[in-house]
């Protein structure tokens, strides 16, 4: 055993070197992160052979018998939250006197890192809506089971490469609050004050509407590039309790008036003036609107295409009536159940179906690499973009259009969509080519035309 306690963020937490076997079962592979409450390790379950995340709490909490008992009870309650958009808690264990949570290890980035990766520190509205929709479904599921998150913030919202949102740290704030453990300096508020509701900052009991407020703050940050309020804890508390936020559209005119209204209602000071539930806020966001609506002028259609569409729709209807499942981007999922649960189709990549012939996709570029071109030089080298301004066009084929747009925007490109059918790609707004072609070196800030299928069938509810 090579584990010992050390000071982390003002308290003692379990320190484990690579190769350490914690709890006689979990072998530490690396450190994923550390904060004021805990350290998170990546580890391998020696029995099941799967990769897990271990969250170890500060030793001061472990020294209290009442806390240890409460911690185990709440951790096992969290383990009962079985939802696609919630980080799964597998078990609660301990090494010596220090307890730790064994959870799903999510391969992805948190919202904070995604925001930091953008030059303007914000996300496009389509991506933010889809992220918020998944987050609200997770919160609704937890609220129905009596669990309030209490600490919604960018670092607790993870997004996988496939576009699936995973909400972490359910119940941790409640455990410590209920046990009356002193956290940090006198007057310090547990959690992230930038995202907390006025009632929490006043020391009142959190409710599901407190989480709704925090989602409003998160959306505000994602779309404007900053939280509605800033300052130290005392100033933040005063602003959350008394000050109205600057309207989001005053900071970013690209935000729709609809989503601005949703954010401002969620940020109401009085909980009674907010959405009554997470699902009510989800309904207001209305992610079901086809993303290509209003861009139909760029969607070329032909009589042949309409005939194929009619044939595909007829086959879909017959299969549905026969009790089967339509494999058009959703594998063998049951579409009726999917619409009710809204939990299964959050991937950015889609399974293909065969449609009509369409013009072939542009060939992947075979041009020399940037370093090769620049090293050989040429007569017109001075007219070419500087090397640092050239970015290779990524492969976004088989992405849903909104996720392809997010990927390209994050790399500094402008994006234009052209919608047309393509053999092998489902008619769900799935991308199948780009111009310039995949692999081409293009100037940062230039426009990329993305070819995608029309959304004749709705994309899965994210």
Evaluate the omega torsion of the peptide bond into residue 436 and state whether it is cis, within 30 degrees of 0: yes
Determine how many CB atoms are found less than 10 A away from the CB of residue 116: 11
> Cα(188)–Cα(52) distance, rounded to whole angstroms?
31
Where would I find the H helices in 346-410?
A: 370-376, 401-410
DSSP reduced 3-state for 127: helix
> Cα(154)–Cα(112) distance, rounded to whole angstroms?
5
> Cα(24)–Cα(353) distance, rounded to whole angstroms?
48
Active-site residue set: 151
DSSP reduced 3-state for 406: helix
The region that residue 19 occupies, defined by phi over 0 for left and psi between -120 and 50 for alpha, beta otherwise, is left
- Rounded CA Rg of the chain: 25
End-to-end CA distance of the chain: give it in Å, rounded: 43
Strand partners, 159: 109, 165
Question: Tokens representing 431?
Answer: 């991308």
Strand partners, 92: 101
DSSP reduced 3-state for 367: coil
């Amino acid at each position: 055993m090579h584990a010992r306690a050390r000071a982390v963020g003002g308290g003692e937490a379990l320190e484990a070197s690579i190769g350490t076997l914690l709890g006689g079962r979990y072998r530490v592979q690396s450190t994923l992160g550390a904060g004021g409450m805990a350290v998170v390790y990546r580890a391998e379950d020696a029995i099941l052979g799967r990769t897990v995340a271990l969250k170890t709490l500060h030793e001061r909490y472990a020294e209290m018998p009442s806390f240890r008992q409460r911690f185990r009870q709440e951790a096992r309650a969290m383990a009962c939250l079985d939802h696609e958009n919630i980080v799964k808690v597998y078990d609660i264990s301990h090494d010596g006197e220090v307890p730790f949570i064994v959870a799903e290890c999510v391969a992805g980035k948190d919202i904070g890192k995604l925001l930091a990766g953008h030059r303007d520190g914000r996300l496009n509205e389509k991506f933010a809506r889809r992220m918020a929709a998944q987050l609200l479904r997770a919160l609704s599921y937890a609220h129905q089971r009596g669990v309030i998150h209490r600490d919604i913030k960018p670092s607790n919202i993870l997004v996988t490469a496939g576009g699936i949102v995973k909400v972490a740290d359910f119940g941790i704030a409640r455990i410590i609050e209920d046990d009356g453990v002193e956290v940090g300096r006198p007057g310090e508020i547990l959690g992230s004050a930038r995202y907390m509701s006025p009632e929490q900052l006043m020391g009142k009991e959190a409710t599901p509407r407190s989480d709704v407020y925090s989602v409003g703050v998160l959306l505000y940050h994602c779309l404007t590039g900053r939280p509605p309020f800033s300052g130290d804890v005392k100033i933040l508390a005063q602003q959350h309790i008394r000050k109205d936020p600057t309207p989001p559209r005053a900071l970013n005119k690209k935000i729709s008036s609809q989503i601005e209204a949703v954010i401002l209602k969620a940020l109401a000071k009085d909980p009674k003036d907010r959405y009554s539930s997470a699902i009510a806020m989800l309904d207001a966001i209305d992610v079901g609107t086809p993303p290509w609506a209003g861009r139909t002028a760029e969607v070329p259609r032909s009589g042949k295409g309409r005939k194929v569409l009619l044939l595909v729709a007829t086959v879909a209807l017959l299969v549905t009536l026969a009790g089967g499942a339509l494999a058009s981007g959703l594998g063998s999922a049951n579409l009726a159940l999917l619409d009710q649960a809204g939990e299964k189709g959050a991937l950015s990549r889609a399974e293909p179906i065969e449609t009509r012939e369409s013009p072939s996709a542009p060939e992947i570029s075979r041009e020399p690499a940037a370093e090769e071109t620049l090293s050989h030089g040429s007569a017109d080298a001075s007219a070419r973009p500087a090397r640092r301004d050239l970015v290779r066009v990524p492969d976004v084929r088989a992405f849903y259009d909104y996720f392809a747009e997010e990927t390209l925007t994050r790399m500094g490109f402008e994006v234009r969509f052209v919608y047309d059918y393509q053999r092998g790609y489902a008619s769900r707004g799935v991308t199948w080519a780009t111009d310039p072609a995949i692999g081409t070196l293009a100037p940062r800030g230039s426009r990329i035309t993305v070819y995608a299928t029309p959304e004749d069938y709705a994309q899965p509810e994210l």
